[in-house]
Structure 1
Amino acid sequence: MNHWLTAPILIPLLGGVLQIFMSYAPMQLRRTLALGTTVMMLVAAVVLLGLADDGAYRMYAFGNWQPPFGIVLVLDRLAALMLMVTAVLALFCHIYSICKTDTQGPHFHTLFLFQLAGLNIAFLTGDLFNLFVAFEILLIASYGLLLHGGGTTRTVPGLHYVVLNLIGSALFLISVGMIYSVTGTLNMSDLAVQVPKISSEELPLVKAGGMLLLVVFGLKAAILPLCFWLPRAYASATAPVAALFAVMTKVGIYAILRVYTLIFGDDAGELANLGMDWIFPFALITLTVGVIGLLGSRTLKTLIAWQVIISVGTLLAAIGLNTSAGTSAALFYLINTTWVVGGLFLVVDLVSNQRGSASDKIVTAPRMRNRGLLGTLFFLGATANAGLPPLSGFFAKLLILQAVTPGIEMAFLWSIILIGGFFTLIAYSHAGSIVFWRNNEGHIESDSKLTLPVTASATALIGLSIVIVALAGPISRYTDATAAQLHNPAGYIEILQMPVITEGE
C-alpha cells in the first residue's frame, strides 16, 4: 500500500506532461483527460485519508535510498488532510474552468495540473530541500496561472507576486544551507534528532536559519507585513485560478505547522518553540489589517481576497497558542475557509459576468438575470466567513475561542475575533445589499447565462459549509487526532529507523 503515497504526485504530474503532448488535440478531449486526472487525484486523496486515519505513519523512499540520503515521502494525518482539502477544491475549480476560462490562454490545464503536483509534493515530502523543490514547482506553475488570460490588469500584480516569491525562494535556499552546514542533513525526522544535540557554538547559525525559514513560510502564508501583494494578485486572476489559490497560503501555514512542531518543537532543546512567540501577535495584527482591507474594498473580488488575509490571521492565531486544542481548531477552520473562500471567488465571477459594465464593483446597477440564486450563494458564503450560525464558520471560530486559556492571550484573541467578525459582517452586508438589492430600473441585457458546470461548482463549494456542519463530529475527532499527532512527533521521528519499503505489501 505504500505505493499509494506516490499517486497524488504522479497522477497530476503525468497528466500535465500528457497535456503538453496534446497541445494540438481538440479542446474537448484535453478537457476530458484533465478532469479525469483531477478525479483520479481525488480518489487517491480519499484512499490516503483512509490509510492515515489509523494514526500510523507511512514512508516511501524513492530508489530504495535509506533516509536521510534519499527522497522520502511521509504520510500522516496532517498530510492526508491537506491532500483531501486540495483535491476537493481543485476538482470544482477545474470543472468551472472548462466553460471558456481555459481557452483564454495556452497550456491552462498543463499549468493547473503541475500546480497540483507541486502542492502535493509539499504536503508529502519528509525533507526540507524537497519542500523547497515543491515550492518552486507550484510557484512556477502559479506564475503562468496568475497571468493566464493576459491583459495589463494582471501584469503589475503578477510581477509583484513573481518578484516577492523569487526573493522568498532565495531566502529559503540560504536558510536550509545554514541549517545543513551544521546538522549535515535536511531530512525532517533526522533534523528533529540532530537539532537538540547542537553545540552552543553552532546554535546561533541554526537559530538564524530557523528564523529565516519562518520568514519564508510567513511570506508564503501572507502574514503581515508580507501580505500586501495578495489582494491585487488574487483579485486580478481568473476565477478558477483565484479559487485554487485559496489553498496557496495554506501551504505556508502547513510548513509552519510541520517544521516548528517537529524540528523546533518542545524537544528541540535550546531551540524549542523557535519563533512561536512571534506568530500570535503578528497573526492578530494580520487579522486586524485584513478586516480593515475588507471594509475598504471597492470590488467583490478584492473583498474576497482580503478575506484570505483574515483567514491567515485567524489560522495563525490559533496555531500561535501552541497547544493541541489550538491546532485542532485551526485545522477545522482551515477546511471551512479554504472551500468557502474558493466558492466565493467563483460566485463573484458569476455575478461579475451578469452585471455588464458594473462588473464586480460594489455599486448600484440594473438587476441581474439570476439575482436570487447568486444572492443566496453569496449570503451563505458571507455567513460562513463571518462566523454566524448555523454554518461551519461559526463552529470553527467557536473551537478557536474555546482553545485559548484565560489570560492576556484570551482577552486579545476573543476581542479581535469577535469585533473582527462583527465588522466582517458589516462589510459583507454593505456589499451584498448594494450589489443584489439596490438595483437601478430595468434589467441588464447580458448573454452570460448560468450553465450547469459553473453553477454546480460554485454551489458545491459553498454547500460544503453545510456538509462540514453535518459531519462536524467526525471532522472534529480527526482534527483532534491530527493535532495530538503533531504535538507528539515521536512517531514521525521513529520512521527514520523503519526499513524502506518500495515493494507492494
Structure 2
Amino acid sequence: MNHALILPLLLPLFFGSGLLIAHRASPALKRWLSVLATWALMPLAGWLLVLAGDDRIHVYVLGNWQPPFGIVLMLDRLGALMLAVTSVLASAAVLYASRGDDDRGPNFHALFQFQLLGINGAFLTGDLFNLFVFFEILLIASYALLLHGQGPGRARAGLHYVVLNLVGSSLFLIAAAILYGLTGTLNMADLGVRVAAAEPSEAPLLAAAGFLLLVVFGLKAAILPLHLWLPRAYASATAPVAALFAIMTKVGLYAIVRVFSLVYGDAAGTLAGMIEAWLWPLAMLTLAFGVFGALAAKELQLLMAHLVVVSVGTLLAGIALGSEQGLSAALYYLLHSTLISGALFLLADLIVRQRGEVEGRLVVSPALRQPLLLGAMFFFGAISVAGLPPLSGFLGKVMLLRAVGPGEQALALWPVVLIGGLGMVVALSRAGSLLFWRATDEAPLRERADGVRLLACVWLLAGSLVLVVAAQPIQAYVQAAAAQVHQLGPYFDIVRGGAR
C-alpha cells in the first residue's frame, strides 16, 4: 500500500493532538508547529495530485481488512484536487492567524489542525459512515473556531450554526441507517453495486435515504433555502477562520458529487439521476439570492459572505448539468472561488483594521492608511470574483456557459449568470467607492498593514493569476477528473476484487 494516502490525516491528527497536550507551551512554539504541519500538506497534496494522475483509483485499506468490510481511503483525481486547494487555502489562513489572531482564545492551532483532519478525511474516505465521522470532526472544530475571539455576534451566529448542523447530523445518521438496513453495507462503491441490484420494492426507501442525504449535504453546502446560517456566521468569524471556511461549502458540494455519482449514479436503475430535477432550480435560486444578499449587505464581511453563496449557486449549476463538461467547468470554478473567497475575507480584515470605530460598516469613514495598496488588491479581487476578464473567474464562467447546450437550461443559466455578475459588480463597486474614494476629513489611523498578513492575502489572490497562466494543464486535469467520476466501473472494482 502507498502510505502517502493516509498522511493528510495523520499530519493534522498528530500535530493537533500534540498541540493540545502542549497547550501550556509558548505561543511562538505552537505557531511554528502549526505552520509546519499545515505547510507540509502542500507538497504532500502535490505528490498525491501526481499519483492520481495515472487515472487509477488508489485504495488504502486500514488494518488490511479488505473492502467492503474494512475502513477504506480512496484517492482519485477529484479527491486529490480537493486536497490540493485545501492545503493552499489553509497555508495562507494559518500564516495570517499567526500574527496575533490566534491569541484571541485558547487552543486555536489545535482546533485548526482538527478542522483540517475532518476536511481531508471527507475528501479521502470511501465509506459513508466515515464521511459522517469526518463531518463531525470538522464541525466540532468549526464550532469552537467560529466562537474564537468571543463576542455576542459570534455567539448568536454560532448558536444558529450549531443547532442547524446538529439537525443535519441527525438526518445523516437516519439516512445511513436506512441504507445499511436495506443493503448491509456503507462502503460507497459497494452501495452503488447493491443499489443497482436492489428490488423494486426497496426503491422508495432508498430514494428517501438519498433525499435525506441531499438535505444534509445541501445544509453543509449552503444551498437555498438551507443557506441562511452562512452569511452571519462567516461575517462574524475572525478573518483566518472565515478564510478557511471558504472550503467548507465545497465539502458539501463534493459529497453531492461523490455520493450521487457512486450510489445513485448511472448504474442505479430507476434511481439513477434522482436529484437532477432538484439541483437545477436550487442552483439558480441560490445564485440569485446570493446576489440579492450582496446588493443588500451593509457590512464588508457580510458582502464577502454572500459572495460565497453566489459561488455555491454557480458550482451547483455546473454539477446540475450532469455532464463531464459541466462538472469540469464546476471544478475549475471551485478552485477559483475557494482561493478568491479566502483572499477577500483576509483583505476585508486588513481594510477593517484601518477604519477605526467604523470597522466593516459600508459608510463613509476616515481615509485608509494605505489606500493605494489595499485599493489595488480590492480591485483585483473584485474583478476576479465578479467574473470579469482576464482573470480566472471569467474563464470559469465561460467554461460553465459553454457546457450548457441550447434549450431551457441555457435560457435559465445565461441570464442568471450574466445578470448576477452585473449585480456583483454593482455591489463591489458601491463598497469600493465607500472604502477608497469617499472619506471624511479626519486623519487616517497610523497603523499599517502587517507584512505577513499582506503576504498571506497576496498568496491567495495570486491563485487567480496562476489559474489563468496555467489554464491549459489545469483544465486538462479537471476534465480528466470529471471523466473519471462518470466512469463507475473502476470504483465498483474496489469491492469486486478488480485491479486497484
TM-score by length of 1: 0.98
What's the counterpart of residue 388 of structure 2? 388
Aligned in 2, Cα 1:153/1:82: closer, same or farther, shift over 3 Å?
Answer: same
What's the counterpart of residue 101 of structure 2? 101
What's the counterpart of residue 437 of structure 1? 437
SS in 2 for 1:73: strand
Q: Distance in 1 between matches of 2:445 and 2:79?
A: 47
Deviation of 1:445 (Å): 2.6
The 8 Å contact of residues 279 and 316 in structure 1, kept in 2 or not, is answered as yes
What's the counterpart of residue 141 of structure 2? 141
SS in 2 for 1:202: helix
Q: Distance in 2 between matches of 1:386 and 1:130?
A: 36
What's the counterpart of residue 467 of structure 2? 468
Deviation of 1:144 (Å): 0.3
What's the counterpart of residue 451 of structure 2? 452
- Superposed, 1:67-466 pairs within 5 Å as 67-446=67-446, 448-466=447-465
What's the counterpart of residue 491 of structure 2? 492
Q: Distance in 2 between matches of 1:109 and 1:164?
A: 25
The superposition leaves residues 82-103 of structure 1 with CA deviations (integer Å, 9 ceiling, x where unpaired) of 0000000000000000111000
Letter of the 1:72 counterpart: V
SS in 2 for 1:443: coil
Q: Distance in 1 between matches of 2:237 and 2:443?
A: 28
Deviation of 1:122 (Å): 0.3
Letter of the 2:138 counterpart: L
What's the counterpart of residue 38 of structure 1? 38
Q: Distance in 2 between matches of 1:234 and 1:265?
A: 33
The 8 Å contact of residues 493 and 499 in structure 2, kept in 1 or not, is answered as no
What's the counterpart of residue 482 of structure 1? 481
Letter of the 2:277 counterpart: D
Q: Distance in 2 between matches of 1:263 and 1:315?
A: 21
The 8 Å contact of residues 57 and 76 in structure 1, kept in 2 or not, is answered as yes
Deviation of 1:497 (Å): 3.4
The 8 Å contact of residues 178 and 209 in structure 1, kept in 2 or not, is answered as yes
Letter of the 2:287 counterpart: L
The 8 Å contact of residues 59 and 500 in structure 1, kept in 2 or not, is answered as no
What's the counterpart of residue 22 of structure 1? 22
Query: Identity percentage over the alignment?
Result: 52
Deviation of 1:451 (Å): 1.9
Q: Distance in 2 between matches of 1:434 and 1:26?
A: 41
SS in 2 for 1:74: strand
The 8 Å contact of residues 5 and 48 in structure 1, kept in 2 or not, is answered as yes
Q: Distance in 1 between matches of 2:451 and 2:304?
A: 23
Select between 417-426 and 198-207 the one with higher mean Cα deviation. 198-207
Letter of the 1:46 counterpart: G
Letter of the 1:384 counterpart: S
Q: Distance in 1 between matches of 2:315 and 2:479?
A: 15
The 8 Å contact of residues 67 and 494 in structure 2, kept in 1 or not, is answered as no
Deviation of 1:348 (Å): 0.3
Q: Distance in 1 between matches of 2:496 and 2:482?
A: 23
The 8 Å contact of residues 214 and 256 in structure 2, kept in 1 or not, is answered as yes
SS in 1 for 2:93: helix
Q: Distance in 1 between matches of 2:247 and 2:156?
A: 22
The 8 Å contact of residues 176 and 209 in structure 1, kept in 2 or not, is answered as yes
Deviation of 1:444 (Å): 2.0
Deviation of 1:124 (Å): 0.2
What's the counterpart of residue 10 of structure 2? 10
Deviation of 1:261 (Å): 1.0
Letter of the 1:270 counterpart: T
Q: Distance in 1 between matches of 2:230 and 2:372?
A: 30
Deviation of 1:431 (Å): 0.5
Deviation of 1:493 (Å): 1.3
The superposition leaves residues 348-374 of structure 1 with CA deviations (integer Å, 9 ceiling, x where unpaired) of 000000000111111111111111111
Q: Distance in 2 between matches of 1:491 and 1:197?
A: 18
Deviation of 1:490 (Å): 1.2
The 8 Å contact of residues 243 and 342 in structure 2, kept in 1 or not, is answered as yes
The 8 Å contact of residues 366 and 439 in structure 1, kept in 2 or not, is answered as yes
Deviation of 1:161 (Å): 0.1
The superposition leaves residues 317-351 of structure 1 with CA deviations (integer Å, 9 ceiling, x where unpaired) of 11101000000000000000000000000000000
The 8 Å contact of residues 368 and 443 in structure 1, kept in 2 or not, is answered as no
TM-score by length of 2: 0.99
Q: Distance in 2 between matches of 1:497 and 1:102?
A: 48
Deviation of 1:449 (Å): 2.3
Q: Distance in 1 between matches of 2:21 and 2:43?
A: 25
Deviation of 1:499 (Å): 7.8
Q: Which runs of 5+ in 2 are unaligned?
A: none
Letter of the 2:379 counterpart: F
The 8 Å contact of residues 60 and 72 in structure 1, kept in 2 or not, is answered as yes
SS in 2 for 1:95: helix
